[in-house]
Amino acid sequence: MTISTPKRLGALAFAAAIAVGACSSSGSTTAPSSAGSAAALSGTVTIDGSSTVFPVTQAVAEEFQIANPGVRIPVAFAGTGGGFKKFCAGEIDINDASRPIKTEDKSDAKSEATNCKAANITYVELQVAIDGLTVVVNPQNDFATCLTPAELKTIYGPDSPKDLLWSQVHAGWPAEKVDRYMPGADSGTFDYFTEEINGEVDASTQHATQSEDDNTLVTGVAGSKYGVAYFGYAYYAENTDKLKAVSIDGGSGCIVPSDTTINDGTYTPLSRPLFIYPNVGKAKTEPVLKSFVDYYLANAATYAAEVGYVALPADVAKTQVDAWTSAVGN
């Protein structure tokens, strides 16, 4: 799956001229492309994890490979939790994550951080963008224009009935069955939403169609007049002709997700950070992995905006570069 916006298509036209290399303290890219260089990069960087972060990482990977033909960067999206399982088993080099790594687990299983430590996998958490988790409905839906967190809990909460009607969500709305779609249980989006809206991670209705592929959710709602779903803002931005975003009233009135409201925090409580988790130990010994993360951090603002997310403020972006430099060295 590749997401292409008009900006992405334009970027591809001159991508081969992009310089690739290490970040300076200001976050700029300084080293030239490896094309024709005696020190040309080669090797493979494997990435999996969040379907929400996937569009940004895929965009970065495409451009990096164009400038470095000897490098392969396959990017998959098993969900944040599924990605951490692979990452902490040493199967991938970077995990895309739409939530922080879990440091404790209420089940009998060990936490993600504990599993990484047991496998001697060291990592650093690097924020690459800001997302506004977006609730969407079918364009024919002319009544659910704004929802409160309490109404979202009625739809997606663990006690929500199987045959929930829209009239049970809000008085005066049609007595039509709510057709629910949502991310799979391995998704960081699922974790974030259930914690923020339902008050507990993993506490959710059992009566929704689930998928780790956000495009499946898009298709479901686009084909169902009474459908509803939630996923990352970029997937809504790519499908405004098929979907309608619902405003959220977090206590200060109905706020529609946008670059401005996500960045300034008024779109609450569904604004959230997006991360990558690189394998630090491997980056210290494999130049291709370090160079890719250098490039990612230097250009995250550009690619995040291109695929529909909000770029980090400059001071926050610099903090990520500093954290990476501190972890792996110059």
Q: What are phi and psi of 4, to 5 degrees?
A: -125, 120
Rg (CA), the chain: 20
Residue 104, CB half-sphere, CA atoms under 13 Å: how many? Answer: 1
Residue identified by tokens 């670059």 is 259
What is the SS3 assignment for 81-129? HHHHHHHCCCCCCEEEECCCCCCCCCCCCCCHHHHHHHCCCCECCEEEE
Give me the pLDDT at residue 119, please.
96
Name, in order, each residue with C-beta under 8 angstroms of 112's C-beta and a sequence gap of 6 or more: 81, 84, 85, 88, 101, 102, 103, 105
Work out the burial of residue 185: count CB atoms within 10 Å of its CB; fewer than 13 is exposed, 13-18 middle, 19 or more buried. Answer: middle
Work out the burial of residue 329: count CB atoms within 10 Å of its CB; fewer than 13 is exposed, 13-18 middle, 19 or more buried. Answer: exposed
Other Cβ atoms within 10 Å of 311 Cβ, number: 19
Cα angle: 87, vertex 125, 182; to 5 degrees: 70
Q: What are phi and psi of 28, to 5 degrees?
A: -95, 160
How many Å apart are CA 209 and CA 227, to the nearest integer? 10
Give me the pLDDT at residue 265, please.
85
Give me the pLDDT at residue 38, please.
40
For the chain, 330 residues long, give each residue's pLDDT as a single digit of tens. 333 333 443 333 333 333 333 333 333 333 334 433 446 899 999 999 999 999 999 999 999 999 999 999 999 999 999 999 999 999 999 999 999 999 976 555 679 999 999 999 999 999 999 999 999 999 999 999 999 999 999 999 999 999 999 999 999 999 999 999 999 988 999 999 999 999 998 899 999 999 989 999 999 999 999 999 999 999 999 999 999 999 999 999 999 999 899 988 899 999 999 999 999 999 999 999 999 999 999 999 999 999 889 999 999 999 999 999 999 987
Residue identified by tokens 């949502």 is 182
Q: What are phi and psi of 48, to 5 degrees?
A: -145, 180
How many Å apart are CA 104 and CA 110, to the nearest integer? 7
pTM > 0.85:
no
Residue identified by tokens 């956000």 is 214
Give me the pLDDT at residue 105, please.
64
Other Cβ atoms within 10 Å of 43 Cβ, number: 16
How far are the Cα atoms of 121, 226, 276 from residue 139, in angstroms, in the given order? 46, 10, 33
How many Å apart are CA 330 and CA 325, to the nearest integer? 6
Other Cβ atoms within 10 Å of 166 Cβ, number: 21
Residue identified by tokens 């479901």 is 220
Cα angle: 8, vertex 9, 14; to 5 degrees: 95
